[in-house]
Each structure stands twice: as structure tokens, then as C-alpha cells.
Structure 1
Amino acid sequence: MGYSENCCQICAVSINVARVRTKHEPESAGWGYSSPEYYSGDPMSSRCTTFKEQSGCENIAHEQAEWIHIAGRGCTFDGGYNGLKIGVEEMKGMNRPRYIVKRPEDQEPDEESTDYEKESDFFLTSQTTCPPDDFEPGDLEHVRYGIDNFFPQNYCVVDMDDDMGVGVPVHDACWMIFERVCKMRLGKVDLQGFMALWARQACGNCGFQNMKQEQIIFECRQQFWKHVAGTEYLGANPVEIPGLLFGLSEHYGDYPRGDGVFMTRTPSPDNPTVPQNPTDPFSRLPAELKNMILYDLPSKDITSLRLASRSFRQLPKQLFHKLIQDELPWFWELDELKQMDDDWWREWFKDDDPEKVNNEQDAESIRRSGRGNFTKNVNWLSVYKQLCILRMGVVGVRNRARVWYLAEEIVKRVDELRRSLKERSAEPAGHDLGEDEDIPVQPTEEEDQAGLVKNGLYCPRCKICQIERQDSK
């Protein structure tokens, strides 16, 4: 068996993502699939090396790896992501996995166990200190339960009760998102349910059977991860996103004044108001009822409604606070954004004395900056629009949105599986779960015979082949 890379069970991206440094960065800013020196592929045969004047790339002789590739703006080398397109901090921790491992039956949960680990037969290891290499999981930051050697798996190759042990790899950041989604949808983190789902629906390429992964992932998933230009976001940390709050703080304000998101003007002879449409049924509704209608609609329908009726030309600011929570649930730093705004105003007015200011409005602003909650009536439309822009242009934000919706699908499946297993246990032929007994992770023979266990390297979604029709003669 040749070299093989494992992927994160949640996001399906290789644990061994690499980065090609630029000529202005230190050696530590570049790393290969298993070490700083070794990259997949031959940089000397890459087109950006042949046309180095146009690409800006170069190759530096190296004692161990023979050549180290240095990325330019036009780099086409697919052995690592171009350092000019994704920073070191943006990829932080994405080649340092954690593993879900079965806790020894003769040991009780240790002191660092989370509540969901105490309720499960499994635990999460610490992150590794180096990338995994082939079937070696990598050195752990610290060892729990005396377990430091196991077989990393994305699907069942050996039994979980095998002497070697099994470790299911996940990115630390992806697991954090899974935790958030679990708490939001189920009220708690379901580690036992996650592993029960893995034992029945794991896929070596998609994470889980028929998971709607982006199609480009299947092109990148080769023996070595193929770092296709334009897919840098797949290797970005979806939790620790450098500059995210700074990118939003400039849009966290109360302009225009009032409760509406759009600026209004006073009618004049030169700029009269638009006459009310007598055939518009919404024009007769009070503001409270119109707001109730708006708060029940998604953003796309609100846009259509504004085109159909002039009664909805102005929109309330708080409406977009709700839309952020409903349509952009992956942005959870609302409190941190508010705190950053308060800190900025406190710093801005730190040397000003309200007693020495002639304008009472300015004096009140200085006093309010010390109390906090400076910006009270935030125009959430501005924040909403900027988040949509960041989702398209910032690699970490784009990956966070992607992983969030994958985690939601996994949590949905975990919930459905838990319900079905409990229903099956209540049947006469089923295994009766005790009051304190959790669902079994290992599938039963009955489940296997019924075709409910589909666990393997491929699934119908990732193993796509063209079926040719044979004309009958």
C-alpha cells in the first residue's frame, strides 16, 4: 500500500495541506505535506518554473529535498498553496489534526474531559505538534489515557476494538464549529452520536456518505492533496480568521439616524414625495403589521416585496440583525464586534474631558464612551452587506460558511440516527437500551443485513462514472 493522506471527517480536506512560501518570507512560512522540506510533485517540471520571468517563481537548491520552490504571483505548482494568496496565520493549525479515539473501558473520564466526553465512550486527543505522515498520526501535544499510537481512519478499515485502535481525524477548527452547531440545534454536543454515524455512514472522500461537498474537492483529493489555484480557501482556518472583526468594525455604525436603514429626505417643491399608490394593499397596513410581514421573510423575498410595493421602501435596522442570525449563522462574533466598537470609542475619547467641551452633544459622547454601549442603534444592513462581501473575498470566511453548513447536515443526520436507533430498540427484536445506556456505536448484524451500514472509501456521490447506454440490436 502506498502513501495515503487522511482528511478531516467534517470538511473532507486533507490534513496534509501545504504552503509554498514567498521570497520575502522566512523558511518557517513554507511547509510540505509531512515536513517543511518535502512537497508533493516536482517543482522543476512546473510551468511556472519554465516561465519564471512571467510567474515570478524560483527554485532554491536544498540539501535534503534537492529543490525548494519559491512562489511568485503566477505560481502554478500544485504541491502547496501559493503564499501570496493565503497567509501563514490564515492556515494556522490546518495540518495539526485532533483524533476521536475510544476511551479504554477500564478508565474513567480524566480531569480535562468535557461534559460530552464524559457521556461518551470516546474522547478527543490534543492537536498534533507536526503533520501526520502516511499512517502515522503525528506526535500529540500531550497524551490522554496513555494512548499515543492508533490507526488514523476516515472509514472502517479495522474494527474499533482492534488492539491498534482507531483515530478519526478532525481539524480542531472544524470540530469547534461542529460543537457550536450541536449546541444550537440539539442543546448539547453529541460525540457518541457522531461516532455512531461514522460507523454507519463514513466515506473516505466525502467525510460521510453522499455529503454535498464542493465538486472541486474531488479533484483535489489525489494520493497527495492537489493544491489547485483558486482553492486556497479550503486550507484556511474557519475559526481564527485574521482581521475579520477589523473588516467589519468600519461598518458598525448608526448612520443614518433613526430606525430605518436608508436615509430619508424632507419633501420640497423641487423634490416632492412619491404619491401613494391607491391600488397597493400594503399601504393601508400599520407599521406593526408590515414589520411582522418583513420579519417572516428571507432576504430574497424582502427584495421582491420592495420591488412590488413602495410601502416597503424603508426597512427597520433590527430586521437585518435577525437576517444575520438566520441567514449567516456562521458569524457568531456579534458581542465581540460590539466590544471592539466600544473599545475604539473609549480610545478615541480617552484624553478628552467632558467638562472642558463647549458642545453638550460632544460632552455626552465622551461620557457615553466611558460607559460602553456607545453605538446604540446599529445599522445592521451595513454589517450584513459587508459579511456577504467577506464571504466571497476572504478565504477564512468562505471556508467557515462552507464548514458550517456541512456541520449542520452532520448534526441533522446524527439526530435522525439517534431517533431511529431508539425507535428500533423499542421493537420486540431490538436491543433494549437501559435508562442510562447510550446508543451503540458499533452497528448490529441486523443493521448490516438490512443495508443500513454504508461505510467505505467511496460513496455514490464521489465515485461518479459515466454510464453508457448500449443500443439494442
Structure 2
Amino acid sequence: MSSQLRCHICGVSFNIGRVRRPDEPPAAAWDGFSTGYVLSYPAQFPGGGCPKSAQCMSVFRIPFASAEDLNGKHGFQEDMDDIEDDGDYVPDCPENDEPFELYKIPQISSANGSVSDGLQRGEPEVSSNLRRSSNEAYRRFLHLLEHPAEDFKMRPHHLDLSLATDLNSANEPLDTVPYFQTEHIAGGSDCRINCLGLEGGGYNGHNISFEDMRWCKTAQFLVRKPDQWCAAPDDDEFERSGHYFLSGLSDSVPHCDFKSEVFPRRHDVSSPNGQNVIGTLEDGQDYAMPFHPACLEVFKRASLYRYGQIDIEGLADWWFLEATQQSFYDFPRHSAVQKGKHWHHTDGDEFLAANPCFITQLPNVLAAAERLGNEIVDTSTSSKSEYTRLRCTDVFSVLPPELRSLILIHLTSPDVANLRLASRTFYQIPQYIFRSLTLREMPWLWEAWSTLDYSFWASTTGDVLEAKIKQHRQRLEKLQAAVEVLIQEGNHGNYQRNINEAAISTVQSLIESMEEEGASIKESVPAPFLLANKTNWYRLRCELARNSTSILGLRNRRRIWKDCEEILDRIERYRAEGKIMAG
């Protein structure tokens, strides 16, 4: 069985799913592969499913149709043609829909708990059911296009399947609904859909937000330059000067046996062969390094913090040297990063899928640490009268402030805390001491020291980028077509000048604005930056410590930063051994 492709920087699979909450739209759920949602296995499935206390729900979903399905390669196009030819057809309301023709749900043997789908491969009933259900599926699909606010009714996951008959107007028993056509809805944090130990599943939407997870399925690739390579206007500096370039983005990464389709096509590459493990070094030119765009942003800043420059060349060379089964799975990663062929969504490990750059809760923490006025010391725990009373007995009190600061600047946070307990003299500490501690001990909080913008690749997904570019292109083409029409219409008659000249000028101005807008689609995104003299560094550290586990994106950033430090250590070692050229 093929392995799942993983980000070579952070070690996490691209095939991550999410189970939505009842108050979220269908777009907030996805699985790791192609169904578009996490399956709702029946409550009597071996393993027990979710407990009743979880209050999970199930909802019937239209079977996922791939692009090939929509193009008629699996028998759907005939049904679409039938619908288009039927001029009298009016989409039905969901409550009046005719029943789907469905498979039976897996039969569970009471003797040994084994599961059978009840259908033998090649039985005529399979293709017959597909043909009968496809027409109605598309009728429902077209209806939802006209009424996007509607959704299929959610029902408790723990219905008595032998008594439940309210699925549709025909009172078809719920136990005829195949689990692979029902979506699981997480009722709360007690949802245990992932405890079944099956491939697939997803992280509970009650434990991680849709906004935090939006990036987790997006992959990008570092591709080796061919001999005949020409720079493009949107290339980064490292692409122009180095041996590797960036591919487009992919939001649907298949198993390792298949190539990923990316958008946009860059340097004539639309399907890079991303691999964590390559056969031989001689074959290395045919492969590409897979990574999350956000993880590359973490590596850039880890490299910048250590060397003062970004070493993408070293990163790619490290991947090439360690793209072996043993090296990849022996890399010392966080204990939550599983080493098996397939990713299992373990409850409590949701932070692994959180965006390390665009963190939803972080702006509030940074705003809370904003310092007003000219405050230069932390006085939150100082007591002036007590300080004066103990001055005569405190040996540090005789030291001038400059010497006390020199002592503090070389201490760690625990040492500073102990010193404040031991000596009242150190109750008041300059803010720059806490800033120095932050820079030394929390380099992953790059908002404190880096002004580097985020690459636009890390700010979007392949689908969103494609939709933006397509929409922009269509609007531009309409304006250009309008200019052609105005020119042709204005040239009729015996006029010395085009009578539509003013309108043409207006539309051409719109075209110029649209072209500028198109260029801005790929602009970098400014990252937050904390001004040294406008930040209460003591309060910032307190807020971060208080929320160290709840801010999932920051927790994931710390984990990835540690991996990047290990990667940089290995790059240094390989360069010292002469296995990697100096950057």
C-alpha cells in the first residue's frame, strides 16, 4: 500500500481532514482525499463509534463528483444532457425529492465483527444503482446551486437504525443509507470518530477552527532547474540565483505513487514528482521536495536568525541527501508526528494542522502587549515602600543600575525570576531586559525581530489562487471585448473621430487598473512587527505563557522551528563534510 506524501520540513501529511461543527457550512469540512467530507460510520460499526454523550450528527451528502465525472467519463454527462433537454424540469424542494437509489450499508457479522459491503465486485446492481442515482444526484446538485443556503437535514448519529424512517419523503429506512454517502458532524469534544482506527477521519472542528486549518492540505515543491531555464518575472531571488525553483500549489496531494497537479504552471512544470524518499541519487533530478508553503516561511526565518540570510539551497540539498526511508523516518520529530504510512487524526494533536504564520488568536495577544506612554520598566510587582525599607539589608542595592542590568542581561528567565524573589532591588527591571530574553529564548516569535514579509504563496491555497486569477482574467477579457465593440461601433458614419472616444478612454483606464490589480494578486503579505519601545515585553511573555497550549498555531510554530534548527544543524555538518556546497 502506498505511503502518504508529507511535508519534508515538518513531517506532517498533506492528507489531513476536518470534521465540521453543526453550526458550520459544508465547506468547513473535508477529508484527506476525495470525498469532500469525513465519513459517518454507523454507531454499530466495530469499535463502537461516537458515544451518545458526544451528540454527534450525520447528514446525507451528494456523492462526490470528480472533474472526470463532470466531464462525462463515468456516465454522468448523459444525465446532465437529459436535464438540459427537459425544458419543463423545475428543481424540487429537498423535502419533496424522490429517494436515492443506494447501496446497502456494510453488513456486520455478530459472530466475528467482520464487515462486508454486501455486494460482490462486478454485480450488475452496482452499475445499475450508479445509473439510477446519478440523475437525481445532479437534480439535487443543481437545486443547491440555486439555493446555496439549504443543506440536508442533520440527524442524531445514534438513531435506532431499525426504527428510523425519516430520511426522505419515501420513508426509506436509514439503514439503507451507505456510510460512504453520509457525513459525520462533530457534536462536541467527545466525538470519537477517529478512534475507529480507520484510514481517513479528520480533526474535530470543536478543537481547531476552520481558519487555523485552511492551509494544511496545500503543498508546494522545490524543483531542480533544467539545463535550459529562463527566469520569470515572479521568481524569488533564490530561484534566479540557485539551482531550484518553486512549483505552483496543490490542494489535493495523492499517494506517493502519483504526481500532484499544481496551479499555476511554472516554468513548464504542472505535475512535479514530489517525494520524501527517492530510489537512487542518480534519479534525483526527476524528483521534487514537498513542503507546506507556511513551513518554508518558518525555515526562512530560522535560517535568517542563524545566518542573517535565507539558505534555500542548503534546504534542498539536505532533502536530496536524506531522501531515504531510514533518514526520513529517523528524523527526530515531535512525538505527535506519526511515522506510519498513513496519517491517523489523534485527538489532542490538532495543533499539528494549525497555520504557523497566520495565527487567529495571536493579534489579540500582541495588541494586549502594546505599551502606552514612556514606560520603561515593569512595575507590576514592585513595592516602593518595601524596597526602601529593605535597601539597607539587600547586598545588590549598593550596585548602580548599570551593573545590575549587566547582571540581568546574562541570565535566563528562571534565573531572573529567582533573583527577583531573592532581591527586592530587582523588582523594577527595564523593558529591554525582557525583550532581550524574548529574542534569546523565543526566536520563533519572529514578530519581535523580523520585518520579513510573508510570501504570497503562504497566504493562499491553490484553489483560491486559481479562482482569483480566473475571475480577474474573465473581467479583463470582458473589458477588452467592450473596447473592440466601442471601436467598431464608433467608426460607423462619416465622422472624423470615433464617437465613442470618451467611453473607450474610460474602459481603457479600467483595463489599466485591472492589470495593476492582477499584479497585486501575487504580492507578499506584511507580517506583524513589535516595536521595541512600544511593547510591554513583560506582559507579552506572561500572555504567551498563559496561552502556550491554546494558541495552536504558535504551538505548531515552535515545533516546526525546532525541526528547522535540526535541519540547519545537518546542513552545517554536511557542508563541513564536503557533501553540500557552501551557500
TM-score interval, normalised by the smaller of the two chains: 0.7 to 0.9
SS of structure 2 residue aligned to 1:10: coil
The superposition leaves residues 194-238 of structure 1 with CA deviations (integer Å, 9 ceiling, x where unpaired) of 22222323465875x7433111222xx443311101000001111
In structure 2, the residue matched to 1:85 is 207
In structure 1, the residue matched to 2:229 is 107
In structure 1, the residue matched to 2:248 is 126
Q: Is 1:25 aligned with 2:24?
A: yes
The superposition leaves residues 150-202 of structure 1 with CA deviations (integer Å, 9 ceiling, x where unpaired) of 33211223556468x21211001000111111122223222222222223234
> How do 1:8-23 residues align onto structure 2 when only pairs under 5 Å count?
8-23=7-22
- 366, 378, 392: which one pairs with 1:260? 378
User: What letter matches 2:26 in structure 1?
Assistant: E
Q: Is 1:439 aligned with 2:574?
A: no
In structure 1, the residue matched to 2:506 is none
Shift in CA distance, 210/49, structure 1 to aligned 2, threshold 3 Å: closer
> How do 1:124-163 residues align onto structure 2 when only pairs under 5 Å count?
124-159=246-281, 161=283
Indicate if the aligned counterparts of 2:261 and 2:272 stay in contact, CA closer than 8 A: no
* Uncovered stretches (5+) of structure 1, i.e. residues with no partner: 338-372, 423-437, 442-473
- 318, 322, 332: which one pairs with 1:197? 318
Indicate if the aligned counterparts of 1:98 and 1:125 stay in contact, CA closer than 8 A: yes
In structure 2, the residue matched to 1:250 is 368
In structure 2, the residue matched to 1:460 is none
Identity value in percent: 28
Q: Is 1:329 aligned with 2:329?
A: no
Q: Is 1:292 aligned with 2:413?
A: no
> How do 1:150-229 residues align onto structure 2 when only pairs under 5 Å count?
150-159=272-281, 161=283, 165-202=286-323, 204=325, 207=328, 210-218=330-338, 221-229=339-347
Report the Cα distance in structure 2 between the residues aligned to 1:137 and 1:158, rounded to whole angstroms. 18
Indicate if the aligned counterparts of 1:60 and 1:70 stay in contact, CA closer than 8 A: yes
Shift of 1:81: 0.2
- 397, 401, 419: which one pairs with 2:576? 419
Indicate if the aligned counterparts of 1:259 and 1:316 stay in contact, CA closer than 8 A: yes
SS of structure 2 residue aligned to 1:405: helix
User: What letter matches 1:99 in structure 2?
Assistant: F
In structure 1, the residue matched to 2:87 is none
User: What letter matches 1:123 in structure 2?
Assistant: F
In structure 2, the residue matched to 1:316 is 430
Indicate if the aligned counterparts of 1:12 and 1:205 stay in contact, CA closer than 8 A: no
Shift of 1:111: 2.8
**Number of corresponding residues:** 381
* Uncovered stretches (5+) of structure 2, i.e. residues with no partner: 64-179, 195-200, 452-529
SS of structure 2 residue aligned to 1:68: strand
Indicate if the aligned counterparts of 1:104 and 1:145 stay in contact, CA closer than 8 A: no
SS of structure 2 residue aligned to 1:101: strand
The superposition leaves residues 294-320 of structure 1 with CA deviations (integer Å, 9 ceiling, x where unpaired) of 011111221222233333222212211
User: What letter matches 1:274 in structure 2?
Assistant: R
The superposition leaves residues 407-439 of structure 1 with CA deviations (integer Å, 9 ceiling, x where unpaired) of 1221222133223318xxxxxxxxxxxxxxx82
- 393, 413, 425: which one pairs with 2:550? 393
SS of structure 1 residue aligned to 2:342: coil
Q: Is 1:403 aligned with 2:521?
A: no
Report the Cα distance in structure 2 between the residues aligned to 1:104 and 1:145, rounded to whole angstroms. 10
Q: Is 1:34 aligned with 2:33?
A: yes
Shift of 1:383: 0.9
SS of structure 1 residue aligned to 2:58: strand
Shift in CA distance, 265/308, structure 1 to aligned 2, threshold 3 Å: closer
- 222, 230, 238: which one pairs with 2:348? 230
Report the Cα distance in structure 2 between the residues aligned to 1:58 and 1:205, rounded to whole angstroms. 42
Q: What is the TM-score with the length of structure 2 in the denominator? A: 0.59
Report the Cα distance in structure 1 between the residues aligned to 2:248 and 2:581, rounded to whole angstroms. 25
User: What letter matches 1:112 in structure 2?
Assistant: D
Q: What is the TM-score with the length of structure 1 in the denominator? A: 0.72
Shift in CA distance, 20/407, structure 1 to aligned 2, threshold 3 Å: same
User: What letter matches 1:284 in structure 2?
Assistant: V
Shift in CA distance, 411/50, structure 1 to aligned 2, threshold 3 Å: closer
